[in-house]
Amino acid sequence: MEKKIKKPALGGQGLAALIDISGLNTAGSSSINEIDLSKIEPNPEQPRSVFNEESLEELAASIRTNGLIQPITLREVQPDKYQIISGERRFRASQKAGLTAIPAYIRKASDENVMEMALIENIQREDLNAIEIALAFQTLIDTYKLTQEQLSERIGKKRATIANFLRLLRLPAEIQIGLKDKMIDMGHAKSLLSLDDASTQLMIYEQILEYGFSVRRTEEIVKEINDGSRLIEVSSETLAKPKKKTPKEFNLLKKHLSSFFGTKVALSCNENGKGKISIPFADDQELERIMQVFDTLKSH
């Protein structure tokens, strides 16, 4: 009698708890099959687009030593030809490890369910970055004409969560790339979405990168801007815009002060010409040096 191997539950709840698979033919998916790697192809609709090479090498080394412990999930697309539903990272690592065949569950599923299953598998493992999740949500909505509420029911996520991810796609491309590359956090991105125009979003994004603002500090800055109490930092790009009506001398003064104090001085100005000068310092020693500069000025 063939021994059946129980499938591991996905995310502790099982796939059935997340999407409706009652209509799927799952014959053969309760036992493990050895499938040649040459007969397996990735899913072109895979929501995950970035695979960390260092992480793949580590997994490949583990597979060389211990074998592939957790089977991947496939569907048969042609006789003796399979497409990955979930487990592409394990598939790639197995290739690197030099395996010729790997254990897999075979499942019959529609294109729609394949993408849902791949998305859910990655979300449960927290393998997708925020932009990849947002794009996957948008693809499901566009492809299958779903409302956010319907998508919420299909994948077991709150509608508000889906809406928050989709809003990220309204950010300028440069900021989306920064979020995808983990240069900023989801919290930074959500704060930037509270700003009205793309140019202001990009300006604050650049300051986050330059000064290393925390999410909390970014939220404070955005609130100040929206309340009208924040003075916008003057940059060469800002000065070049006629609508600001700011003298070009401000930019020259900023460079002069930065050189004089030996640190990057921030010169801020609003549209009415009112502004302030900020002199940052990294530690007590640098503060003491700046104070000595002021003392020198006093003596003159």
Using a 10 angstrom Cβ sphere, with 0-12 exposed, 13-18 middle and 19 or more buried, the burial of residue 291 is exposed
Dist. CA 28–CA 1, nearest whole Å = 15
pLDDT: which is higher, 293 or 233: 293
Q: What is the per-residue pLDDT for 41?
A: 92
The arithmetic mean of pLDDT across residues 16-20, rounded, is 38
Cα–Cα distances in Å, from 32 out to 2, 76, 232? 11, 14, 61
Flag whether pLDDT at 117 surpasses 80: no
Q: Which of 44-48, 61-65, 248-252, 274-278 has the highest mean pLDDT?
A: 61-65
Domains of the chain: 10-125 (3.90.1530.30), 242-300 (no CATH)
Q: Which of 47-51, 253-257, 288-292 has the highest mean pLDDT?
A: 288-292
Q: What is the per-residue pLDDT for 127?
A: 62
Q: How confident is the model at residue 227 (pLDDT cuts 50, 70, 90)?
A: confident
Q: What is the per-residue pLDDT for 273?
A: 62
Q: What is the per-residue pLDDT for 186?
A: 92
Q: How confident is the model at residue 266 (pLDDT cuts 50, 70, 90)?
A: confident
Q: Which residues contact 136 (CB under 8 A, 6 or more apart)?
A: 47, 115, 119, 128
Q: How confident is the model at residue 257 (pLDDT cuts 50, 70, 90)?
A: confident
pLDDT: which is higher, 252 or 65: 65
Flag whether pLDDT at 269 surpasses 80: no
Q: What is the per-residue pLDDT for 239?
A: 35
Place of tokens 């928050």: 164
Q: What is the per-residue pLDDT for 6?
A: 39
The arithmetic mean of pLDDT across residues 87-114, rounded, is 84
233 is an active site residue:
no
What is the overall mean pLDDT for the chain?
75
Lowest mean pLDDT among 58-62, 95-99, 106-110: 106-110
**What share of the chain has pLDDT > 70, as a percent?**
68
Q: Which residues contact 298 (CB under 8 A, 6 or more apart)?
A: none
Flag whether pLDDT at 236 surpasses 90: no
Using a 10 angstrom Cβ sphere, with 0-12 exposed, 13-18 middle and 19 or more buried, the burial of residue 126 is exposed
Q: Which amino acid is at 282?
A: A
The arithmetic mean of pLDDT across residues 116-135, rounded, is 71
Closest Cα to residue 100, out of 70, 67, 69, 73? 67
**What share of the chain has pLDDT > 90, as a percent?**
24
Lowest mean pLDDT among 4-13, 28-37, 170-179: 4-13
Dist. CA 245–CA 269, nearest whole Å = 11
- The token duo for 233 is 């930092």
pLDDT: which is higher, 288 or 121: 288
DSSP class of 233: B
Task: Please tell me whether residue 88 adopts helix, strand or coil conformation.
Answer: helix
Contact present, 159 and 149 (Cβ < 8 Å): yes
Flag whether pLDDT at 143 surpasses 90: no
The arithmetic mean of pLDDT across residues 245-263, rounded, is 66
* Catalytic member of 88, 116, 121, 132: 88
